């Protein structure tokens, strides 16, 4: 069971951590890494891995496309 004292201690820790994070952001932690935000993002996402050639990937994309007339009436000017 969480005691009042333990709850206050945990809240104090959260306040301290939030203040530290705010300071780091204000000081620019992106610059401290020596990397741009885009580079950091790409590192977290991982890279694209595929053994196919560019032409094979493009062919796969186009062959996977489907045609639909769903919502086509939204652009029908004759209804106005």
pLDDT of residue 1: 84
pLDDT digits (tens, 9 = 90+) for 34-57: 788 788 888 888 777 889 999 999
Residue 51: phi, psi to the nearest 5?
Answer: -85, -5
40, 33 Cβ separation under 8 angstroms:
yes
DSSP 8-state code for residue 70: T
* Residue 57 or residue 75, greater confidence: 57
Average pLDDT over residues 26-30: 69
Average pLDDT score over the chain: 83
Can you tell me the distance from the alpha carbon of 57 to that of 2, in angstroms, rounded to the nearest whole number? 56
Q: Coil, strand or helix: which one is 68?
A: coil
Name the helix (H) or strand (E) containing 1.
none
Question: Tokens in use for 53?
Answer: 């050639």
């Amino acid at each position: 069971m969480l005691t009042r004292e333990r709850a206050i201690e945990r809240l104090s820790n959260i306040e301290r951590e939030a203040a530290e994070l705010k300071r780091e952001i204000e000081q620019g932690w992106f610059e401290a890494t020596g990397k741009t935000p885009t580079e950091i993002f790409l590192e977290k996402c991982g890279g694209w891995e595929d053994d196919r050639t560019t032409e094979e990937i493009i062919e796969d994309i186009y062959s996977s496309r489907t045609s639909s007339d769903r919502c086509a009436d939204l652009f029908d000017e004759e209804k106005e």
